[in-house]
Amino acid sequence: MDRAILAALQRDATQTASALSGRIGLSQPATWRRIKRLRDARVLSGRRVVLDREALGFGVTVFLGVKLATKGRVSLDDFERAVTAIPEVQLVEHVLGLYDYRLRVVARDLSDFERVLRRRVMTLPGVGDVEANVLLSEERRPGPL
């Protein structure tokens, strides 16, 4: 039953407990208590607003794969501190594999992105190779529940 609630909320996070209750065949308070229990258990760890980047004038999203040149603990800390100070960086992912970090960067257009890349990213401490992919489109899936 909890799975049904999570799946429904993933599909539409705006629906109310009473709307959900009808759908899954429970009373409204029972449904609400389950949602609260999931929240308290940190299974539902938050709600997030989705902003339309295009409507805000940020038409370009680029993924950067970054390889560090030097990889001591201090290097990682320095890099993370510096990269999180770049406003255009939406997401910093520390990964294991061909790259050390993966960044999601938004910019107004490609020339704006070039500025970010040259002035901000290439000057980060310890940066080695940088590889870029420009986002064309993306689709979110419900994921396995």
Q: Which residues of the chain form contacts with its own copies (CB under 8 A)? A: 6, 9-10, 13-14, 41-52, 55-56, 58, 63, 65, 80, 84, 87-99, 102, 106, 131-145
Spatial separation of the C-alpha atoms in residues 126 and 8, rounded to whole Å? 44
Query: Closest distance between its own copies and the C-beta of residue 90, in Å?
Result: 4
Query: Closest distance between its own copies and the C-beta of residue 50, in Å?
Result: 4
Terminus-to-terminus CA distance in the chain, angstroms? 12
Determine which residue in the list 10, 13, 22, 33 makes contact with DNA, applying CB under 7 A.
Answer: 33
Bin 99: left if φ > 0, else alpha if -120 < ψ < 50, else beta.
beta
Residue type, 48: R
- When asked if residue 5 is in the footprint of DNA (CB under 7 A), the reply is no
Q: Which residues pair with 101 in a beta bridge?
A: 66, 94
Bin 126: left if φ > 0, else alpha if -120 < ψ < 50, else beta.
left
Determine which residue in the list 6, 8, 9, 28 makes contact with DNA, applying CB under 7 A.
Answer: 28
Give me the residues that bind DNA (CB under 7 A), please: 1, 16-19, 26-30, 32-34, 36
